[in-house]
Amino acid sequence: MRFYILLLLLSIAPLTLVQAQTGEINGRVTSGDEPVVGANIGIQELQIGNSTDKNGYFTIKRVPTGTHQLRVSAIGYAAVRKKVTVGEGETIELNIDMESSTLELDQVVVTGTMRETYVKESPVKVAVVNAQGLQKGKTSSNIMDLISNIGGLSTQLNCGVCGTNAIRINGVEGPNTAVLIDGMPIMGALASVYGLNGISPSIIDQVEVIKGPQSTLYGTEALGGVVNIITKNPKNTPGFSAEIFGKSTEEGSINLAATPKIGRFQGFVSGDLLRMENYFDRNDDNFNDVAKRSRIALFGKGTLAGPNGEQMLNVAAKLYDENRTGGVKAFSDKMRGSDQIYGESIYTKRAELLTEYRPLGFDQRLRFSGALTFHNQDSYYGTDHYDAQQNIVYGQATWDQPVTESIQLLLGSTVRYQTYDDNTPATSDGTNHRFIPGLFAQSEASIGDITLLAGLRVDHHSEHGFVTAPRLSAKFSPSARTTFRASGGTGFRVVNVFTEDHAALTGSREVVFAEDLDPEQSRSLTASIEHVFPLGTNPLTVNLDGFYTHFTNKIIPDYDQDPNLIVYENLDGFSVTRGVSIDLDHSLTAIPLSYNASFTLMDVFTEENGQRQSLTYAPDYIGSWGASYLLRFLDLSIGYTGNLVGPKRMPENYVTQFGRDRWSPTYTTHDLKLTKEFTNVNSANGVGFEAYLSVENIFDYTQGSPLVDASAPFGPQFDTIYTWGPIVGRTVSLGTRLNLR
């Protein structure tokens, strides 16, 4: 009871604080005689600020009285810091001159500390990829097709018939990755099966990634890391846009988006329609190589500013409806559950509502956030019917308080209530209810070139009692070009096997629980060195990272104990993920060329009863790279991406029973995209039009059939997860995009 009283007090205590007296800061930002457009001016400890208009002018209203550190930043310019003292009712006028600098390529992020900061200044290492970077060499309406373009991330195909997949960070299994939408941890276990495939790149502004446990801020789903998908800001999007593309697989997609603006309200609405009803079988296993899909996704987001332009209310909603069908050629959805003609039919419906409210009079320090999600999946895998529903209600209150000029305190309380029900033995006793309240606190202190961050979270699980998740991070920047970071933390996760391991649903093996499963727990250390080599006006950024995570109570399915069973039990030992990675990012100014590359070497293994072996499906190494080049005289951009995947250990039963390879081979894939701009939205008529052509998997590399014993799909040996590489070969896409200002 005391815990819940404390939770309530923390949620409402900031409301008793007295509103501070305020003043105003006006000014203009220039470089030489030219205005700097879109520069960010902010007081970081207060989380308030604004950006410059087309003439370089800005205004920050309702600035609390006192002395503050003003930071001015813009991509391509050296950041400017200026102390400003504001008196009650006073208006400060500033003229700020910025110098060009290729070292200043900073982006604003929120994931590492749950407050807006810059990549360079965050004590927690955050990798950022914008929407253009995600689609540099590929065309897709599904973020899961693009996620491997981010260093250290890969996707694992978990079903060769229905096409479900999961995100791996540094080789850690997909369910250990927390996927957030605008900072909200609403992608529950059921959504990890198909819900991630419904996130269209058309609504994404940028993707922020943290590797390693982040349970202190984001709860029990974040053992392996966090992927935070930041949706588009209405004020930075065209008034109307339309995009259409088609693929050689006969997949077609249409996206329409608009940004209505009425007074202090700005909105962004997007609709995405996809259809792919083509059957093709290039690997000759008599099954469709890729599942047929019909999908509609709707997204809407609105922001309401306060009377002085400050951010006050954000509301976003998303609807997703997909029908997915895989199997032999004769199968259709009319045959769902047939015991004569094998097929898999999945109907997915999902709805999300997210909101953030910043009450006026608290200088943006107090924030209330909330989310509601509904997810229903009605599926048939051969004759096996899986009907499941998950609902999540999530609420969060945070208070961001500067203690001194160099110390920042963040306090928060969360409440998560979720229900899960399906027609499997997992809920034979009725609907599963979980009520998880939590408290967290985080302190960030800057002492010269050193920044320290310490945090602690306490959650209460009805089944497991109180769970603590501490973390400690440090950043040392001896110069503007070099940054050292280190972090340590713990994680905790309750597992739902039937939603997280698709092998428990597909195939014909019987699922056996050898014991009552305890939650997984982890301890992790990460360290990184970042250095910028100026190379004249062509900065080269190099990142070297090391990581180590130790798991206990690891829940790993045993495919080898009995060919007719999948046995689940807690590992009587431990599991380790460790490795190093290097990332390069280089921009050339003499020629319009930029490129990036990433390579991660991993050792992912389990040790039980003194026996050590590599974890199945975890690659020994992965790599990704990309380049973009602009032919200015043709207004033609060329984008190229590639991926490297090292060997993976495959389940032993496939080797002994069916003669499959114990280890998958090393392979690479390559993609190329050409984009021709005919008119630019920033031109006088405000119309932008472009066309693009992409070729994915240029060299037509495929793994062959992912199925085991495909000739007897209703037999006890049939399985769909001998998956280690591409199933679909070379694909050509052609599309157009229209933007109206």
Looking at the DSSP bridge assignments, the partners of residue 688 are 739
Identify the sign of the CA torsion 215, 218, 223, 226.
negative
CATH 2.102.10.10 holds for 1-101: no
- Neighbouring C-alpha atoms within 13 Å toward the C-beta of 229: 24
CA–CA separation, 29 vs 96, rounded Å? 5
pTM: 0.83
Angle at 493 between CA 489 and CA 497, to 5 degrees: 150
In sequence order, what are the residues at sequence separation of 6 or more whose Cβ sits closer than 8 angstroms to the Cβ of residue 2?
none
Give me the mean pLDDT over the 197-208 stretch.
Answer: 83
Which candidate, 581, 481, 454, places its Cα nearest to that of 526? 581
Helix (H) or strand (E) holding 96: strand 91-97
Q: What is the pLDDT of residue 39?
A: 77
Please determine, for residue 322, whether its predicted confidence score (pLDDT) is greater than 90: yes
Q: Which of 215-229, 324-338, 644-658 has the highest mean pLDDT?
A: 324-338
Instruction: Give the pLDDT band (50/70/90) at residue 477.
Output: very high
For residues 476 and 420, which has the higher predicted lDDT (pLDDT)?
476
Q: What is the pLDDT of residue 17?
A: 38
Contact 200, 142 (CB under 8 A): yes
CATH H superfamily, domain 207-740 = TonB-dependent receptor, beta-barrel domain (2.40.170.20)
Q: What is the pLDDT of residue 621?
A: 95
Q: What is the pLDDT of residue 432?
A: 81
Q: Quick one: what percent of the chain has pLDDT higher than 90?
A: 36
Q: What is the pLDDT of residue 249?
A: 94
Please determine, for residue 558, whether its predicted confidence score (pLDDT) is greater than 70: no
**Sheet strands side by side (includes 225-231):** 127-130, 204-211, 225-231, 177-181
In sequence order, what are the residues at sequence separation of 6 or more whose Cβ sits closer than 8 angstroms to the Cβ of residue 12?
none
For residues 171 and 86, which has the higher predicted lDDT (pLDDT)?
86
Instruction: Give the pLDDT band (50/70/90) at residue 450.
Output: very high
Locate 706 and state its tokens: 């992912």
Q: Which 8-state DSSP code applies to residue 215?
A: H
Please determine, for residue 157, whether its predicted confidence score (pLDDT) is greater than 50: yes
Judged by average pLDDT, the poorest of 101-105, 484-488, 578-582 is 101-105
Looking at the DSSP bridge assignments, the partners of residue 96 are 29
| Euclidean distance between the first and the last CA atom of the chain, given in angstroms as a whole number | 55
CA–CA separation, 413 vs 410, rounded Å? 10
Locate 484 and state its tokens: 């050292």
Contact 519, 497 (CB under 8 A): no
Q: Which of 190-194, 218-222, 309-313, 453-457 has the highest mean pLDDT?
A: 453-457
In sequence order, what are the residues at sequence separation of 6 or more whose Cβ sits closer than 8 angstroms to the Cβ of residue 492?
215, 220, 223, 459, 467, 469, 519, 520, 521, 522
Give me the mean pLDDT over the 322-351 stretch.
Answer: 93
Which candidate, 317, 95, 131, 124, places its Cα nearest to that of 209? 124
Which candidate, 174, 133, 131, 138, places its Cα nearest to that of 153? 174
- Neighbouring C-alpha atoms within 13 Å toward the C-beta of 614: 18
Please determine, for residue 331, whether its predicted confidence score (pLDDT) is greater than 60: yes
Q: What is the pLDDT of residue 3?
A: 42
Q: Quick one: what percent of the chain has pLDDT higher than 70?
A: 85
* Kind of pairing between the strands at 204-211 and 153-157: unpaired
Max CA distance (Å), the chain = 80
Q: For the chain, how big is the Rg over CA atoms in Å?
A: 26
Which candidate, 374, 309, 312, 384, places its Cα nearest to that of 345? 384
Q: What is the pLDDT of residue 461?
A: 80
In sequence order, what are the residues at sequence separation of 6 or more whose Cβ sits closer than 8 angstroms to the Cβ of residue 306?
264, 312, 360
Q: What is the pLDDT of residue 655?
A: 83
**What are the φ and ψ backbone dihedral angles of 175, each rounded to 5 degrees?**
-60, -15
Q: CA–CA distance from 613 to each of 170, 573, 621, 720 (Å)? A: 17, 12, 16, 23
Judged by average pLDDT, the poorest of 38-52, 89-103, 324-338, 387-401 is 38-52
pLDDT in tens, 591-601: 888 899 999 99
Q: Which of 35-49, 73-87, 376-390 has the highest mean pLDDT?
A: 376-390
Q: Which 8-state DSSP code applies to residue 504?
A: G
Contact 68, 83 (CB under 8 A): yes
Q: What is the pLDDT of residue 80?
A: 84
pLDDT in tens, 86-113: 888 888 888 888 876 655 455 665 555 6
Give me the mean pLDDT over the 363-368 stretch.
Answer: 84
CA–CA separation, 158 vs 223, rounded Å? 20
Q: What is the pLDDT of residue 69?
A: 82
For residues 365 and 118, which has the higher predicted lDDT (pLDDT)?
365
Contact 368, 12 (CB under 8 A): no
Looking at this protein, which amino acid is placed at residue 166? A
pLDDT in tens, 614-645: 988 999 999 999 999 989 888 899 999 999 99
Q: What is the pLDDT of residue 561?
A: 66
Mean confidence (pLDDT) of the chain: 83
Looking at this protein, which amino acid is placed at residue 57? Y
Q: What is the pLDDT of residue 169?
A: 84
Q: What is the pLDDT of residue 126?
A: 82
Q: What is the pLDDT of residue 207?
A: 86
Say which residue the tokens 């991993």 belong to. Answer: 602
Please determine, for residue 79, whether its predicted confidence score (pLDDT) is greater than 60: yes
Please determine, for residue 142, whether its predicted confidence score (pLDDT) is greater than 90: no
Q: What is the pLDDT of residue 562?
A: 67
**What are the φ and ψ backbone dihedral angles of 562, each rounded to 5 degrees?**
-150, 130
Angle at 697 between CA 693 and CA 703, to 5 degrees: 155
Q: Which 8-state DSSP code applies to residue 515?
A: S
Q: What is the pLDDT of residue 221?
A: 64
Give residue limits of the domains in the chain. Answer: 1-101, 207-740
Contact 597, 623 (CB under 8 A): yes
